[in-house]
Amino acid sequence: MVSASATPDVVVLGEILVELSSTEPLDAGVALTLNFSGDALNAAAASAAAGAHTALLARVPDDELGDRLLERVVALGIDTSLVMRVKGQHGLYLQHADPSGAREFTYVRRGSAGSGLGPADVPLELVARAGAVLASGIACAISPSSAEAVQAAAAAARCFVYDPNWRPRLIDANGAAAHLRALAPSTRLVTPAWPREAQLVTTANPAGGPREGADEANVGVASRSGTQALGGGEASDRGGAPGIGEARGGGGAREHGGEGRAGATEHGGEEDGGGGAEEGWAGDPVAVCGALRALGVEAVALTRGVDGVLLDDGGEVVEVAAIAAPVVVDQTGAGDSFAGTVTARLALGDQLIDAVRLGVSAASLSVGGLGGTGRVATLEESQAHAARAVEVCG
């Protein structure tokens, strides 16, 4: 049981969703498993499991399903003292969990109670005392008031971590980039997914390219055990960033709806925000990290699925390899697991590189369960998995 009286190590803002998932393509007659998810819950669960006293700041409908939802939140070791019970409808999503990562989502969340989060809900003094605060682009996208809440919390936080989690069905690239740009100066760490969220950097930084010099001299070659050193120096030479319309490639997931009315589903087509810009500086992950720092973020952990994470901590760039997953059931929430774990470890005083290594390990284990919180690794499990990977890799 989590003590609600102490200041939390980590505060996570966002909306908790009802999750209905299937291992078969969604169709009439397909059995669905009920659970609770949403990136804020997934990340908060990972943060709590990583050893941080973690509180969720969210609005939850005041009904029976909301009671079950909060029981699940408590079971995940999360402090619910900042949860507000309100009138209104749940946000939910249906997903077809596909181990290959070709997921299919249908959202029903517009007008949900959770999207009513606003700046007046943010306890600024408590947020300022917390070790770290985590929020995502989804919390910014679901309503203007929720975006204001994130902005207020980021400004007050000692250590703000932002996961862009761009969902084109919720917000277009310009909108997502605007949130990124507004939050960047308050951000200790940003965790974009490569390649699809790289194009937000292009949009947020239309002049093209990382800041003058792009810390060319500082894009260092770091060698640490468990990391692969990367050269740099070419970052600012990548002019001619392509526009959004030119971005291509697959993002893996298909997303449907998201903007439907509460109570209605709306199926969209293939996710059109799919790939990262692959030409010019925006096609270069090191340069993208530099461009993000040019917006004001202190550090960037660019997540690259099975290719692991590129970490740029103030110009020192290292590659942290992914750890092979023992079981792959569903890739949903790997990024959330990573972000939650890293935020927890930062709040608890770990070095960023150590926090990222643990995050990579927790994320690798997280794909072994169905849905966003189907498998939440404990700190001990993540540590042991990381240690085994180091042994295997020599």
Ligand X SMILES: Nc1ncnc2c1ncn2[C@@H]1O[C@H](COP(=O)(O)OP(=O)(O)OP(=O)(O)O)[C@@H](O)[C@H]1O
* Nearest partner of 95 among 253, 252, 249, 251, judged by Cα: 253
382 binds, among Mg ion, ligand X, none (CB under 5 to 8 A by kind): none
Among 226, 305, 314, 368, binds ligand X (CB under 6 A): 305
Q: Which residue(s) pair with 300 in the sheet?
A: 190, 312
Q: Which amino acid is at 369?
A: G
Three-class DSSP category at 381: helix
Sign for the pseudo-dihedral over CA of 288, 290, 291, 292: positive
Q: Is 165 in the site for Mg ion (CB under 5 A)?
A: yes
311: its two tokens = 């970490």
The stretch near ligand X (CB under 6 A) out of 147-155, 172-180, 256-264, 361-369 is 361-369
**Do residues 43 and 134 touch, judged by C-beta distance below 8 A?**
yes
Site for ligand X in 169-228 (CB under 6 A): 193
Q: Is 335 in the site for Mg ion (CB under 5 A)?
A: yes
CA 201 to chain centre: 16
Among 35, 165, 343, 373, binds ligand X (CB under 6 A): 165
Question: What's the min distance (Å) between Cβ of 3 and ligand X?
Answer: 29
Specify the residue, 286 or 360, whose C-beta has the smaller distance to ligand X.
360
Q: How many residues bind ligand X (CB under 6 A)?
A: 23
Question: What's the min distance (Å) between Cβ of 381 and ligand X?
Answer: 14
Question: What's the min distance (Å) between Cβ of 357 and Mg ion?
Answer: 19
**Do residues 97 and 23 touch, judged by C-beta distance below 8 A?**
yes
The length of the chain is 394
* Nearest partner of 152 among 128, 171, 176, 175, judged by Cα: 128
9: its two tokens = 């190590």
The stretch near ligand X (CB under 6 A) out of 5-13, 16-24, 76-84, 358-366 is 358-366
Site for ligand X in 120-159 (CB under 6 A): none
Q: Give the span between the Cα atoms of 320 and 307, in whole angstroms.
A: 9
Specify the residue, 38 or 335, whose C-beta has the smaller distance to Mg ion.
335
Site for ligand X in 365-394 (CB under 6 A): 367
* Contact code string over 262-301 relative to ligand X, x by CB under 6 A: ----------------------------------------
Site for Mg ion in 186-215 (CB under 5 A): 193
Three-class DSSP category at 229: strand
Positions that interact with Mg ion (CB under 5 A): 165, 193, 335
